[in-house]
């Protein structure tokens, strides 16, 4: 291949990366390859962080890709023999370390609010709190189970009931649950709540969310836990308050069924 053609092909191929990469990123929502709906109160904070991060990432990505192309244009040479020896450029290195550092430190402080809000500031004053969770969520290979307490709030009482696969919660309420694992690492992931929390064996981890829209949402496991990880799923049912109370009452009654409906 002629040298000119080779250079042209290489430049075009390299340029395709930033061009196609950026184009698909902006076209993705039209193709349905974007976020699912957000129905939690703090989901917006997470999405906002994503967009904030996208800006420096986009700038850096396009910048480095174009620099790559510029280097091919500027520095490719027909001369055989020894290459030019460059000792480095201290000023340049200082700049390209300082600017990203400033950006990263800004991000560290900028995201702390969202992290604290979701992971640290557990609701304490409402109906549910880490001491009085709505349920204990047990992750196991390869099942999600939800234990609700008896009427006095005791999870070890004989009238505590368990639901397999289906997690029922009331809408517009700050819900707190305790996440536990029966065997290995799992992760409680509800994409539509933008909520993810690893379930660590041996730990009881409080998790909270507030669902803003009634409906049924997917729950999936987000930490590889074995051969059934891909199909370890559940459903979160967000119900209007009255329906949720009805459901709990129904479960309490169903516990004492005499079996004629089985």
- Classify residue 197 by its DSSP letter: E
CB burial of 99-128 (b: ≥16 within 10 Å; e: otherwise) equals eeeebeeeeeeebeebeeebeeebbeeeeb
SS3 171: coil
Q: CB 238 → other proteins: shortest distance, Å?
A: 16
- To 10 degrees, the CA torsion angle through 150, 155, 156, 162? 80
* Residue numbers 115-134 binding other proteins by CB under 8 A: 130-133
Selected from 107, 141, 200, 252, the binder of other proteins by CB under 8 A is 141
CA distance 62 to 19: 9
Selected from 165, 224, 230, 250, the binder of other proteins by CB under 8 A is 165
CA distance 167 to 158: 20
Per-residue x/- track, 182-221, other proteins (CB under 8 A): xx--------------------x-----------------
Closest alpha carbon to 15 in 90, 69, 71, 94: 69
Selected from 38, 43, 128, 136, the binder of other proteins by CB under 8 A is 136
249 near other proteins, judged by CB under 8 A: no
Q: CB 9 → other proteins: shortest distance, Å?
A: 12
Please report, as ranges, the residues that interact with other proteins according to CB under 8 A. 130-133, 136, 138, 140-143, 145, 149, 152-158, 161-162, 164-166, 178, 180, 182-183, 204, 227-228, 231-233, 235, 254-260, 262
């Amino acid at each position: 291949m002629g040298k000119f053609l080779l250079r042209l092909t290489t430049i075009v191929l390299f340029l395709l990366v930033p061009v196609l990469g950026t184009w698909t990123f902006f076209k993705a929502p039209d193709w349905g390859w974007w976020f699912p709906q957000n129905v939690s109160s703090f989901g917006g904070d997470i999405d906002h962080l994503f967009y904030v991060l996208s800006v420096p990432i986009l700038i850096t990505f396009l910048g480095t890709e174009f620099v790559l192309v510029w280097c091919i244009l500027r520095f490719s040479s027909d001369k055989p023999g020894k290459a030019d020896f460059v000792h480095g450029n201290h000023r340049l290195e200082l700049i390209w370390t300082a600017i990203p550092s400033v950006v990263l430190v800004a991000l560290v402080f900028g995201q702390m609010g969202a992290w604290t809000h979701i992971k640290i500031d557990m609701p304490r004053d409402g109906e549910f709190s880490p001491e009085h969770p709505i349920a204990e969520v047990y992750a196991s290979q390869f099942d999600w189970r939800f234990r609700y307490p008896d009427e006095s709030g005791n999870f070890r009482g004989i009238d505590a009931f368990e639901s397999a696969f289906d997690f029922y919660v009331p809408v517009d309420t700050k819900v707190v649950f305790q996440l536990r694992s029966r065997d290995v690492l799992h992760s409680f992931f509800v994409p539509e709540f933008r909520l993810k929390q690893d379930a660590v064996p041996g730990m009881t981890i409080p998790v909270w969310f507030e669902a803003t829209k009634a409906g049924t949402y997917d729950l999936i496991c987000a930490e590889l836990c074995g051969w059934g990880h891909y199909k370890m799923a559940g459903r979160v049912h967000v119900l209007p308050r009255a329906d949720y109370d009805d459901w709990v009452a129904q479960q309490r009654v169903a516990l004492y069924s005499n079996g004629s409906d089985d």
